[in-house]
Amino acid sequence: MTAHIAVLGGGSFGTVIANIMAENGYPVRQWLRDESTAIAMNQQHENKRYLPGYQLSEQLTASTDMHWVIAGAEAVFVSIPSSSFRQVVQQAKPWLTTEQLLISTTKGVEASSFKLMSQILQEELPGGRIGVLSGPNLAKEIAQGHITASVIASDDPALCERVQHILCSKSFRAYASTDVYGVELGGTLKNIYAIASGLSAALGVGENTKSMLITRSLAEMSRFAVAKGANPMTFLGLSGIGDLIVTCTSPLSRNYRVGFALGQGKNLDDAVAELGEVAEGVNTLKEVRQQASEHDIYMPLVMGLFEVVFNHAPVKQVIANMMGNQPNVDVDFAV
């Protein structure tokens, strides 16, 4: 009998990857915290709140019973926002084993510790087989059947190979990487620049400006990565520039939408409340700005965006200040 796969989290991304694997023929058990949602999902084969109209496979069963979901699973995907990630992993710990494949899909950073999700998994499950799934993966596009690629990163090659096998389908591809930190950092940092891009789109900027913003975002992300000991070359892949492009250009990105709402003059609380889903970039912005200040990393976009988002600085003034900075080299890290 095929072992089942577990997914923790009932949001849009958890649901869409659970369904890919179920459609690939694996029995999938998805844990969510709300009993009425689990019952409705099993009866209607639809996650009405997060992915209305998306037909779920009969191989996918939603449950609030974490033991039933995790025990005996071959792989456990954790798709919980960073703000609750550690707490849910701690809840899951009694049933997790070091034989299971444990994969984070979360693109965020723990508040104040600056730990990425795979680092939390390592701390909570020492000796575990840990991986990270990250890439240009708008859940709603995957649900619409658009061809999509992602990256599975792990220092365990057998994990990468197995996850590639479980996830690959006629419309979904998973490429492998051994650079867990680089892949995870790319997926986390790009959310900041998606907010900046949404904001600038609301201001009606031109295509030159949009292109400049994405490219200078990549430069800034790379500078941060190098300061943190990561390999900036990983940012040239799907989990770096790939994810940066999609989230900085698509109104389906929640981070972009928060930025757009800010650009329309809404305040942060209203923009986030209106979204009703997670926008990881808001917390990431705060944490990265703190890191940049502490470690003296030149990040003018992060600094400017922080002033606009958290200190109500007038956008036009912040842009004017940035335009006064000395333009530096184009590409910092050439081979």
Ligand X SMILES: O=C(CO)COP(=O)(O)O
**What residues form DSSP beta bridges with 151?**
134, 175
CB of 313 to ligand X, least distance (A): 23
Tell me how far apart the alpha carbons of residues 88 and 298 are, in angstroms, rounded to a whole number. Answer: 35
By CB under 6 A, the residues from 30 to 49 that bind ligand NDP are 32-34
Tell me how far apart the alpha carbons of residues 333 and 119 are, in angstroms, rounded to a whole number. Answer: 26
By CB under 6 A, the residues from 92 to 121 that bind ligand NDP are 105-108
* Binding test (CB under 6 A) with ligand NDP, winner from 19, 24, 63, 79: 79
Match 């034989």 to its residue by tokens.
Answer: 99
Q: Which residue is nearest to ligand NDP (CB)?
A: 11
Per-residue CA distances from 244 to 36, 104, 197, 218, 322 (Å): 36, 19, 10, 8, 21
9 binds, among ligand X, ligand NDP, none (CB under 5 to 8 A by kind): ligand NDP
Interaction pattern, residues 220-249, with ligand X; x per rule: CB under 6 A: -----------------------x--xx--
Query: Looking at beta carbons only, is 37 or 209 nearer to ligand NDP?
Result: 37
Query: Looking at beta carbons only, is 121 or 258 nearer to ligand X?
Result: 258
Q: Which of 93, 140, 170, 190 is catalytic?
A: 190
Q: Sheet with 28-31: list strands edge to edge.
A: 60-63, 28-31, 5-8, 75-78, 101-104, 129-134, 148-153, 172-177
DSSP states of 292-317: HHHHT---HHHHHHHHHHHH---HHH
Q: Are 79 and 17 in contact (CB under 8 A)?
A: yes
Any binding-site annotation on 104? Answer: no
309 binds ligand X (CB under 6 A): no
286 flagged as catalytic = no
253 binds ligand X (CB under 6 A): yes
By CB under 6 A, the residues from 286 to 325 that bind ligand NDP are none
* Binding test (CB under 6 A) with ligand NDP, winner from 64, 84, 97, 122: 84
280 binds ligand NDP (CB under 6 A): yes
Q: Are 221 and 194 in contact (CB under 8 A)?
A: no
Cα distance between the two ends of the chain: 49
DSSP states of 47-88: BTTTBTT-PPPTTEEEES-HHHHHTT-SEEEE---HHHHHHH
Residues in touch with ligand X (CB under 6 A): 107, 136-138, 191, 194, 243, 246-247, 253-255, 280
Residues in touch with ligand NDP (CB under 6 A): 9-14, 32-34, 50, 79-82, 84, 87-88, 105-108, 137-139, 277-278, 280
**Active-site residue set:** 190
